Amino acid sequence: MEGERAVVTCEKEKGSSCFQFLIATYHIFCGVLAITQRTVDCGKHDPDISLELEKDMIGLLTEELNLQRNVTNDNMEHTKSAILEARKTSSQYQKEAEKCNSGMETCEEAREKAEAAIIAEHKLSAIWEDRARQHGWKDRRRTYA
């Protein structure tokens, strides 16, 4: 059942290395079967030769399976290291995003404080301007009034 799921997943992703690996394995297996069929046909009438050829084919198939297992293990190790590296990179980006968010919050707080200070300064300026007008001050900047 596990192998079926892997094949279905690989078939959905035709460009993936998993799919390419399955195709390569299929071609190797078909090639070995073709060689096996031809050699068995050659010696099928002699039981001793037939038995020896079967032993050789079993050895070849076993060796091929071991090689494929080694390739698969190497691919798994490579994939695991790539996943680990991706996790590290993701963690670094997450930390940078948290720093950025913290900086944005600090900046927003400072902007709000500055805005409140400006509003307070405008109110204070208006009060002093009203007092100055009460004491006879005229604004020379306002010539249109």
Q: How far apart are CA 115 and CA 117, in angstroms?
A: 5
pLDDT tens digits, 87-99: 999 999 999 999 9
Domain boundaries, the chain: 2-134
The pLDDT value given to residue 30:
58
Residue type, 118: I
SS3 137: coil
- Predicted model pTM: 0.43
Helix axis angle, 47-134 to 17-43, nearest 10°: 180
pLDDT tens digits, 23-68: 566 556 555 555 555 544 555 566 766 666 667 778 888 889 999 9
User: What size, in residues, is the chain?
Assistant: 145
Quote the distance between the C-alpha of residue 97 and its chain's center. Answer: 17
The mean pLDDT of the chain is: 78
